[in-house]
Amino acid sequence: MKAIFFEKYGIPEEVLQLKEAPLPTPKDNEVLIKLYATAINDYDWSLVRGKPYLYRLMFGLAKPKNPITGMELSGVVEGIGSKVSKLKVGDAVYGDISHFGFGTFAEYINIPEDAVLLKPDKLSFEIAAAIPHASTLAMQALRGIAEIKQGQKVLINGGGGGVGTIGLQLAKLNNCEVSGVDSGEKLDMMKSLGYDQVIDYKKVDFTKTGEQYDLILDCKTNKSPFSYLRALKPTGVYVTIGGNPGSLISVLFWGKIFSLFTSKKLKILSLKPNEGLDEIAKLVIQNKITPEIDGPYPLEDTPRLIQYFGEGKHKGKVVIKVSG
């Protein structure tokens, strides 16, 4: 099989290589999946570079323990282990496999059967690969932690990426007024998707405009907790889904302190992979939300695409077509 390997940390276009590898054999509780599509996430950008350095404590100090990254997939089961009971050969599946490992930048992967869900027939493989991680982040943040309500004033920092574009649509299902923050190159696209206001982060700091929001969904988390508090209404909720580790630790610490003195809330989402994914799929099938896809691109373009993603040039979800 073909796969994208990296044996040392560094610049994606320099350390990632397309190579041939033996076809894996599933263990007792595993399924062998032929991948049709996958997608790029923040994890991939961080893992390949080994930055922030905290990642190296988890995934290998001097070099990566797992030479193949990638955490989302859609594909078809081609083999099963002796103890597999929920899936069978020929089943189309999809999901975020991050709690079970990585390795979706390849033509085949072995993974425990509980890592994936059956793919609805009405979802294409490309759409199915685009929604597991970003969409569940948006769903769990907005509906789970923030308990979004009708007509609220919402801001999404990182509004032009995979989480942001789905978050916008989920907020609009609640008739919210939504502002989006991202780079200037993405603003026209964001307006076309339905943002009520768009903000170029290079020109405007949304925490210093005087505007306050009922709900802030932050995909970047690169400011002080005091800044976010300033941008919230008296009972507002701030939810971060990722970003700079130092900033996340600061939000966690100060969020607990602030809760003693104010009704404003600072929260961090701990993702539960694939929770709510079936609901997202139904909304996509019903045309109530539409994933914004950048691509699909061929597998051999992965090194360039991870660099492209890391530089923030992508619009929506970067999808890679592996087979089919």
The answer to whether residue 52 is domain-embedded is yes
Domain total of the chain: 2
- pTM assigned to the model: 0.93
What pLDDT score was predicted for residue 199? 98
- Statement to judge: residues 253 and 199 lie in one domain: yes
Q: Report the alpha-carbon distance of residue 199 to residue 259 in Å, rounded.
A: 29
Q: Does residue 282 lie within any of the structural domains?
A: no
Report yes or no on 59 lying in a domain: yes
| Residues 165 and 244 grouped into a single domain | yes
Identify whether residues 111 and 39 lie together within a single domain.
yes
CATH of the domain at 202: 3.40.50.720
**Mean pLDDT of successive 10-residue segments in the chain (324 residues)?**
96 97 95 98 94 86 93 98 97 97 97 97 98 97 96 97 96 98 96 97 96 97 92 97 82 86 93 96 97 97 97 94 90
Q: Is residue 274 part of a domain?
A: no
| Residue 44: inside a domain | yes
Nearest-CA neighbor of 135 among 273, 240, 238? 273
DSSP-derived secondary structure letter, 61: S
Same domain, 94 and 194: no
Q: Are residues 121 and 147 in the same domain?
A: no
Let me know whether 13 and 124 are in one domain: yes
d(CA 104, CA 98): 10
What CATH number corresponds to the domain at position 310? 3.90.180.10
Looking at the fold, whether 74 and 149 belong to one and the same domain comes out as no
- Say yes or no: 162 and 123 in one domain: no
End-to-end CA distance of the chain: 14
Which residues form the domain of 247?
A: 135-268
Amino acid at 187: L
- Please indicate, yes or no, whether residues 90 and 181 belong to a single structural domain of this protein: no
Contact (Cβ atoms closer than 8 angstroms) between residue 293 and residue 304: no
Q: In angstroms, what CA-CA distances link 286 with 122, 139, 145?
A: 10, 16, 25
Same domain, residue pair 87 and 194: no
Any domain includes 120: yes
pLDDT at residue number 253: 87
Residue 313 domain-assigned (yes or no): yes
Claim to verify: residue 148 and residue 254 sit in the same structural domain: yes
Asked whether residue 278 is assigned to any structural domain, the reply reads: no
Residue type, 250: S
pLDDT of residue 284: 98
Indicate if 36 and 60 belong to the same structural domain: yes
Residue 54: what pLDDT? 80
